[in-house]
């Protein structure tokens, strides 16, 4: 039986992505062929600094389409080259070169997964401001992957063991959230979450709680009765264990106590503030709706500690473990 292949993009080369990737590989106990995508010279520098002692094999993307032979103890690296005379990335700060290298690696990773050369994509952190120096309209990994793959709909789910939470709106100012909420959008996130729980996490009858938007639910606003409740009702015909809207100060306690297999949060900080409080070291960002599994550690580039051997590899290790687990289950 063929082993599932993980493609791992190294993220912004000036951040902690390359470091946590090498550390995570060193501690990865499961077997899966790995393909690293990023700067080979950067990896070789860190290999010495961290004393990880990996052997790297430079490869071209075309090699992976013709029965590439993975070898134990040798890590293939798809070396990202960018135009220009010896362009240098910047350590620990935002730069256009960093952004270009990071986004080119993501493109290569998507291509590998779409071609079948890799089964899952694990992405180290990027810096949005760096990429916006070369792609001004760039709005994040998730949105970029949606466009790049042609996915019709996507959702951000955050997972840590039995704790799972999906977002309805993503990167919006708080003042715009109420205006952005639509019944169809809420139904879409509920459906993607339900399908992921069944088909990826192998939960036969998923229990999903949908959060309210306002304090105490409809006591302080009308979005619950006007938008959220009708969306929940429409989905409940297919999902008997779907409930909501539930006030935000109740639903996350219920998730923690095991009442729900996942919750749906209306906006970014409503969901991520409690999630990161309990799962900052192990939380994984999972993109639902893509034609392949994609995970990422739930943290940023941490420029302030880059290349100081201070970065915690556990979130990256969790992202790799979840990617492999879900790739093995994906139908």
Report the residue count for the chain.
331
The string of pLDDT tens digits covering residues 125-177 is 999 999 999 999 998 899 999 999 999 999 999 999 999 999 999 888 899 99
Q: What is the pLDDT of residue 83?
A: 75
The string of pLDDT tens digits covering residues 36-69 is 999 998 999 999 999 999 999 999 877 777 678 8
Q: What is the pLDDT of residue 91?
A: 86
Cα–Cα distance between 36 and 6 in angstroms, integer? 9
In the chain the domains, ranked by start, together with CATH numbers, are 6-151+290-329 (3.40.718.10), 155-273 (3.40.718.10)
Cα–Cα distance between 171 and 322 in angstroms, integer? 24
C-alpha dist (Å) from residue 261 to 40, 255, 277, 319? 40, 7, 18, 19
Cα–Cα distance between 168 and 288 in angstroms, integer? 12
Q: Is 43 helix (H, G, I), strand (E, B) or coil?
A: helix
DSSP at 2: P
Q: How confident is residue 264, by pLDDT bands cut at 50, 70 and 90?
A: very high
The pLDDT > 90 percentage for the chain reads 80
The pLDDT > 70 percentage for the chain reads 98
Cα–Cα distance between 168 and 156 in angstroms, integer? 8
DSSP at 227: I
Is 331's pLDDT higher than 70? no
C-alpha dist (Å) from residue 305 to 16, 192, 300? 7, 36, 11
Q: What is the pLDDT of residue 73?
A: 82
Q: How confident is residue 114, by pLDDT bands cut at 50, 70 and 90?
A: very high
Q: How confident is residue 71, by pLDDT bands cut at 50, 70 and 90?
A: confident
Looking at 84-88, 217-221, 286-290, which range is the least confident one? 84-88
């Amino acid at each position: 039986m063929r082993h599932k292949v993980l493609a791992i993009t190294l993220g912004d080369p000036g951040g902690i992505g390359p470091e946590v990737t090498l550390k995570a590989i060193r501690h990865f106990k499961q077997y899966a062929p790995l393909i690293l995508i990023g700067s080979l010279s950067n990896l070789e520098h860190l290999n010495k600094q961290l004393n990880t002692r990996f052997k790297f094999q430079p490869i071209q993307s075309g090699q992976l389409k013709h029965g590439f032979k993975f070898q134990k103890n040798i890590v293939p690296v798809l070396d990202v080259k960018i135009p220009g005379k010896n362009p240098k990335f910047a350590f620990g700060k935002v730069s256009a070169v960093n952004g270009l290298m990071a986004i080119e690696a993501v493109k290569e990773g998507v291509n590998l997964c779409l071609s079948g050369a890799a089964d899952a994509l694990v992405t180290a952190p990027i810096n949005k401001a760096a990429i916006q120096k070369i792609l001004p309209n760039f709005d994040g990994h998730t949105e970029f992957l949606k466009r790049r793959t042609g996915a019709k709909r996507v959702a951000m789910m955050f997972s840590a063991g039995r704790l799972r939470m999906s977002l309805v709106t993503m990167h919006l100012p708080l003042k715009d959230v109420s205006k952005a909420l639509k019944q169809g959008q809420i139904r879409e996130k509920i459906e993607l979450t339900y399908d992921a729980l069944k088909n990826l996490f192998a939960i036969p009858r998923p229990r999903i709680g949908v959060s309210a938007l306002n304090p105490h639910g409809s006591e302080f606003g009308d979005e619950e009765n006007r938008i959220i409740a009708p969306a929940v009702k429409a989905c409940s015909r297919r999902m008997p264990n779907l409930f909501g809207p539930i006030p935000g100060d109740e639903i996350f306690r219920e998730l923690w106590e095991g009442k729900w297999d996942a919750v749906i949060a209306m906006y970014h900080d409503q969901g991520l503030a409690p999630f990161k409080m309990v799962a900052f070291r192990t939380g994984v960002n999972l993109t639902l709706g893509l034609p392949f599994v994609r995970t990422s550690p739930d943290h940023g580039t941490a420029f302030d500690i880059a290349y100081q051997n201070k970065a915690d590899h556990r979130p990256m290790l969790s992202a790799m473990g979840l990617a492999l687990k879900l790739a093995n289950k994906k139908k």
